[in-house]
Structure 1
Amino acid sequence: MKVNFTSNEELAPDDIEVVVSAAIMNGEVLSLMQQIQNLTPPSTTLPITLEDRVVLLPISDIISIEVFGTEISVQTVGKSYTTKGQLKKFHARLPQKTFIQISKSALINIEHLEYLEAGFSGNMTAFLTNNNRASVSRKYLPDLKQTLGL
């Protein structure tokens, strides 16, 4: 397979046109075209439902997400939001490279991680922006270290 780039000044700066060329139309070409069509730019907001409205939170502003029973607490740079849901469903809607699970009940945005400090019984405490803290359980510590390149 060859991949080429050709500049097209007729396109807008944020438009991309993909042309697939092959000798014949076959299953491999159809599969490639389907994969390209399924590509969508990553979302920059996380919609959450609050009582009678839906709020779009900028993903870059989210510091941490914690679950307390069936309630989810979303800490952002400016405010805290409480909604209903499951942590795993929130995690699936967020960039996996940026949001890491640190315990059975919490996710953090590593872009808001300032430092880690050793705690009791092998746990660590994550110190986040806006003076937020979160406990990192031993089970999830290896994944966090790997994500941080430690």
Structure 2
Amino acid sequence: MKVNFTSNEQLAPDEIEVMVSAAEINGDVLNLMQQIQNLTPPSTTLPITLEDRVVLLPISEIILIEVFGTEISIQTTSKGYTTRGQLKKIHARLPHKTFIQISKSALINIEHLEYLEAGFSGNMTAFLTNNNRVSVSRKYLPELKQILGL
């Protein structure tokens, strides 16, 4: 792999343009392009719609996101919010290294994870900074352990 830098005075000082060249598009090229796209600075807020307004929640304050049917409950360090939507769509708008899916219906911010405790049938319970506890299903436990470096 070759990496080159070319100065382009037509770009703004804070603008970066990346060009990927290859003989053909394949899995490696697509993977590289995805990794480059993931390098863009993530947003610091999550906009959610509440009745007749849009509220911008600071991402660092979000502790837990749970879905109940089409209702999404978002617990922050200061209060709780309820909106409508899909968990996967909200997860796509959040940094994946910070927000980890722990069950079919819940995401946690690992920066607000205090500890994990073994539960029944291979599940674990996550204890969060707001004194909430939520079950971590066996299916999602390996990814959580990998993120935590276990």
TM range (shorter): 0.7 to 0.9
Aligned to 1:24: none
Aligned to 1:143: 143
Once the two structures are TM-superposed, the CA of residue 16 in structure 1 deviates from its matched residue by: 5.8
Count of aligned pairs: 136
SS at match of 2:130: helix
Measure, in 1, the Cα distance between the counterparts of 2:60 and 2:117: 24
Measure, in 1, the Cα distance between the counterparts of 2:126 and 2:108: 9
Measure, in 2, the Cα distance between the counterparts of 1:39 and 1:115: 29
CA distance 1:53–1:126, change in 2 (3 Å): same
Greater C-alpha Rg:
1
Give TM-score scaled by structure 1 length: 0.77
- Cα-to-partner distance string for 1:60-119 (whole Å, 9 max, x where unaligned): 000010001110000000010000000000100000000000000000000000000011
Structure 2 unmatched ranges of 5 or more: 22-32
Aligned to 1:68: 68
Measure, in 2, the Cα distance between the counterparts of 1:94 and 1:38: 11
CA distance 1:3–1:136, change in 2 (3 Å): same
Measure, in 2, the Cα distance between the counterparts of 1:135 and 1:37: 32
Aligned partner letter, 1:136: V
Alignment of 1:1-150 (within 5 A): 1-2=2-3, 15=14, 28=21, 40-150=40-150
CA distance 1:19–1:105, change in 2 (3 Å): closer
Give TM-score scaled by structure 2 length: 0.77
Structure 1 stretches (4+) deviating beyond 2 angstroms?
1-4, 15-20, 35-41
Measure, in 2, the Cα distance between the counterparts of 1:2 and 1:45: 33
Structure 1 unmatched ranges of 5 or more: 21-26, 29-34
Once the two structures are TM-superposed, the CA of residue 41 in structure 1 deviates from its matched residue by: 2.6
CA RMSD of aligned residues (A): 3.0
Measure, in 2, the Cα distance between the counterparts of 1:38 and 1:140: 22
CA distance 1:149–1:50, change in 2 (3 Å): same
What is the percent sequence identity of the aligned residues?
80
Bigger Cα displacement from structure 2, 39-48 vs 99-108: 39-48
